[in-house]
Structure 1
Amino acid sequence: MKAEEVAHYLQNNPQFFELHADLVANMVVPHPHSGRTISITERQMLALRDKNRQLEGKMGELLQFGEENDEISQKMHRLAVGMIAARSFQAVLHTLNLHLRDDFDVPHVAVRLWRHPEGNDDLPEFAEVSQELQAFAETLTLPYCGSTSGFETSSWFGEASLHVRSQALIAMRDGGGTIGMIALGSEDLERFYTQMGTIYLERLGEMASAALARVLR
């Protein structure tokens, strides 16, 4: 018989070991970590210990992820409170930059808005943005994360532009229409990568959109 056939037979006939209890007591198998042989009962105990260690490792990972998510949620809450309290355009921008830099360790933040309120044309947030980039922002159902290569947004970071290697682009919307974009930049190539989760970036975009749309009105 082949090994697969033996395994299939034992799986479908669990009473086999009840009928041959002496066989279980006398059966020996190789130790998984040494050359000696051990009883099948001892081998089962080793397997259970290994499985228990794996479960403990998984539990540790889940606890770590939970703690990290709690910390990020607290930071998002502080940002939301600050944005709600901001009463002017400059106050919203200051709050956004402050929290992203100090709480989230994002070194470079740039905002561009399509609307141009009178008397504010000289602010970088209202600098001209190409039609191609505006059209790209319209297509963003989720934030873009990845390289700065080929994006005009790389120039938004001023003197740091030459050193920024990864970015996150978040479209801002008001009533369904796109009103602008937030660009987050980092010198770390892996800070914003293609397959990363974007749920908190989405929430950031929603909060910034609501706060900026409010003060621009």
Structure 2
Amino acid sequence: MNATDVARYLKDHPDFLVEHGELFTQLTVPHPHGGQAISLAERQLHALRDKIRLLEGKLAELIRFGEENDEIGEKVHRLTLGLLEAEDYDGLRFALFENMRDDFAVPNVALRVWNSVLTREGEDFAPVSEEVRFFAGDLRHPYCGVPANLEIVDWFGDFAPHVRSVALVPLRREAQVFGLLALGSEEGERFYSEMGTLYLSRIGDLVASALRRQLG
């Protein structure tokens, strides 16, 4: 009989250890965190304690994620109210930029709009190259990562040389992209390729809806 046979026998006969409970104290195994020998009962107790610590760590992580999501949700809610209360385009732009900078701590914000029914003077409606339009049109989700497109980086003006990571959020009218919201940070890890984009997508939907209401 080998170890596999013994293990299989114990699984097939769960009452064995009940009928031979003295084995828990008579048999010894190495301590999981040291060299001394301990009983099977003590070993099981250590295993349970390790599992409890692991579960406590996962619970604490879930609570932290929940609190972070609640905080982000509150910020998105305030942005939504600001966009809804905006009476004109200037008010909409102010609400968007102020929320991104004050609530989300994004120091650099830029907006470009094209193919709208109404246009205005100002940098938000400055001409955009076909390359950028094609890039934005191909986005299925917000882009997060290094600022690879120099034209978009230049939208940040004097802060452009200091931008190390960006989030680029496409603004859609149904399936057509008509603009791009660009967020820039001096921190290289603020926006990274593996980060979740759920809230960025929702922000893009909110901004696009508000813009369509103002510009057609």
Provide TM-score, normalisation by structure 1. 0.93
- 8 Å CA contact retained: 2:116, 2:215: no
Which amino acid counterpart does residue 139 of structure 1 have in structure 2?
D
Partner of 1:213: 212
- 8 Å CA contact retained: 2:116, 2:178: no
Alpha-carbon shift at residue 118 of structure 1 (Å): 6.7
SS at match of 1:29: strand
Alpha-carbon shift at residue 51 of structure 1 (Å): 0.6
- 8 Å CA contact retained: 1:115, 1:126: no
Partner of 2:75: 75
Alpha-carbon shift at residue 23 of structure 1 (Å): 2.4
Which amino acid counterpart does residue 148 of structure 1 have in structure 2?
P
Which amino acid counterpart does residue 114 of structure 2 have in structure 1?
W
Alpha-carbon shift at residue 43 of structure 1 (Å): 1.0
Q: d(CA) in 2 for partners of 1:33 and 1:104? A: 45
- 8 Å CA contact retained: 2:109, 2:156: yes
Consecutive aligned runs of 4 or more in structure 1 exceeding 4 Å deviation: 116-119
Partner of 1:48: 48
Deviations 1:168-201 (A, max 9, x none): 1111012332110000000111111101000000
Alpha-carbon shift at residue 149 of structure 1 (Å): 2.1
Alpha-carbon shift at residue 22 of structure 1 (Å): 2.7
Alpha-carbon shift at residue 150 of structure 1 (Å): 3.5
- 8 Å CA contact retained: 1:116, 1:126: no
SS at match of 2:210: helix
Which amino acid counterpart does residue 162 of structure 1 have in structure 2?
P
Partner of 1:38: 38
Deviations 1:16-69 (A, max 9, x none): 213433323311111112222111111111111111111111111111110110
SS at match of 2:179: strand
SS at match of 2:196: coil
Note the residue ranges of structure 2 that are not aligned, 5 or more in a row: none
Partner of 2:189: 190
Which amino acid counterpart does residue 70 of structure 1 have in structure 2?
D
Distance 1:118 1:18, change over 3 A: closer
Q: Alignment length, in residue pairs?
A: 216
Partner of 2:57: 57
Listed as ranges, the matches of 1:8-157 within 5 Å are 8-115=8-115, 120-121=120-121, 123-157=122-156
Listed as ranges, the matches of 1:159-174 within 5 Å are 159-174=158-173
Aligned-residue CA RMSD (Å): 1.7
Alpha-carbon shift at residue 138 of structure 1 (Å): 1.1
Q: d(CA) in 2 for partners of 1:189 and 1:99? A: 22
SS at match of 1:21: coil
Distance 1:23 1:150, change over 3 A: same
Decide which moves more: 71-80 or 18-27: 18-27
Distance 1:126 1:25, change over 3 A: same
Distance 1:188 1:5, change over 3 A: farther
Q: d(CA) in 2 for partners of 1:119 and 1:84? A: 20
Which amino acid counterpart does residue 26 of structure 1 have in structure 2?
Q
